[in-house]
Amino acid sequence: MRPFALDHAASTAEALQFLDDGATAIAGGTNLVDLMKLQIATPERLVSLRRSGLGDIAQDGEGLRIGALVTNADCAADMQVRENWPLLAKAILAGASPQLRNRATTGGNLCQRTRCGYFYDTSQACNKRDPGSGCAAREGFNRIHAVLGTSDACIATYPGDMAVAMLALEAVVLTQGPSGEREIPIAQFHLPPGDDPARDNVLEAGELITAVRLPAPTGGVQIYRKVRDRASYAFALVSVAVDLTMNEGRIARCALAFGSLGTVPWRDPAVEQVLIGEAPSSALFAKAAEVLLKDAQGFGANDFKIPLAARALAATLNDATRTGKA
């Protein structure tokens, strides 16, 4: 690790000032510190947000405003979240370990970087870590990599769970920065790699996530299905977040998001359109999967994610629509 200076911001305004001066924000540090040890990130100045007053969960009209510094553990344990947006609590609890969730924060989690092994290994080519060096994962061991939204430059996934639930819940990321405040729908927050995979999201230099706003509860059946290599403490191979309402035996409303399938948390309105207004059946689920995966491309070791996603989708919809009838 390289030497660095650490400051504590006592307010959001002070944090923004530090960021403006070139500091890198640190909250829980569960990802950033690892990156610093490996010198994948080498910030000379850090500003800790832990005292900056962004740690509250508050009602926001019919919705909920979750401060950027709310820990994953606190968010998942919040009674309002559990009752009205259970999908979010379930997704958070499916990730990491209690120790990590006690430390990791809402804003930090949105910014966590990929788990691509080539990104973390500085002896290997990686356009995300070292733009222009190439992508060693493409023809390497790419079992955990994306099958949707990839580019020639990068096939790494956004690995988290929380953001996948937020995508299905149509959350909005609230930021402050040099050019004022922004409200960014979460569907637009993460950036697919394109030819600039070093950039994970739309945050500008000096811009800070202050909160995430959840819209009014849908009252739908909410399931987060995480498929992984072991029962806990593993990143998803594929995850499915669903928020669905049945009406007279038909799917009246449906929001679906997928994790570890694409380079970013993945949502495809065309998939939902296939389902809405229809009675659930295995044929319908298969049709939805076909639409979801029509452009999917595997790279060898991750080819299985394509049939796996179809089957995980079917299992989740089967579960949600049966529960929804009750």
In whole angstroms, how close is the CB of 305 to other proteins at the nearest point? 8
Report if residue 63 touches other proteins, rule: CB under 8 A: no
Tell me which residues in 221-250 interact with other proteins (CB under 8 A).
227-235, 237
Contact (Cβ atoms closer than 8 angstroms) between residue 208 and residue 68? yes
Q: Does residue 158 touch other proteins according to CB under 8 A?
A: no
Pairing outcome for strands 57-60 and 63-67: antiparallel
Tokens at residue 286, please? 């298969």
Q: Is 124 in the site for other proteins (CB under 8 A)?
A: yes
Q: Pick from 21, 247, 307, 325 the residue near other proteins by CB under 8 A.
A: 307
Cα separation, 318 vs 324, whole angstroms: 10
Q: What is the nearest approach in angstroms of other proteins to the Cβ of residue 116?
A: 10
Measured from the CB atom, the residue of 202 and 308 that comes closer to other proteins is 308
β-bridge pairing 24-26 and 5-8: unpaired
Q: Which is nearer to other proteins, 125 or 198 (CB)?
A: 125
Q: Are 320 and 256 in contact (CB under 8 A)?
A: no
By beta-carbon proximity to other proteins, the closer residue of 191 and 234 is 234
* Span from 118-126, 185-193, 200-208, 244-252 in contact with other proteins (CB under 8 A): 118-126
Which window, 82-90, 133-141, 147-155, 203-211, contacts other proteins (CB under 8 A)? 133-141
Closer residue to other proteins in complex, CB, 233/325: 233
Largest Cα–Cα separation, the chain: 63
Q: Which of 6, 13, 39, 179 binds other proteins (CB under 8 A)?
A: 39
Q: Is residue 143 near other proteins by the rule CB under 8 A?
A: yes
- Which string of x and - marks every residue 259-288 that binds other proteins (by CB under 8 A)? -----------------------x------
Residue 216 interacts with other proteins (CB under 8 A)? no
Q: How far is the CB of 198 from other proteins (least distance, A)?
A: 20
Whether residue 57 contacts residue 16, with contact meaning beta carbons closer than 8 Å, is answered with: no
Select the residue interacting with other proteins from 118, 224, 266, 299 (CB under 8 A): 118
Which residues contact other proteins (rule: CB under 8 A)? 1-3, 37, 39, 115, 117-118, 121-124, 136, 139-141, 143-144, 227-235, 237, 282, 304, 307-308, 311-312, 314-315, 318-319
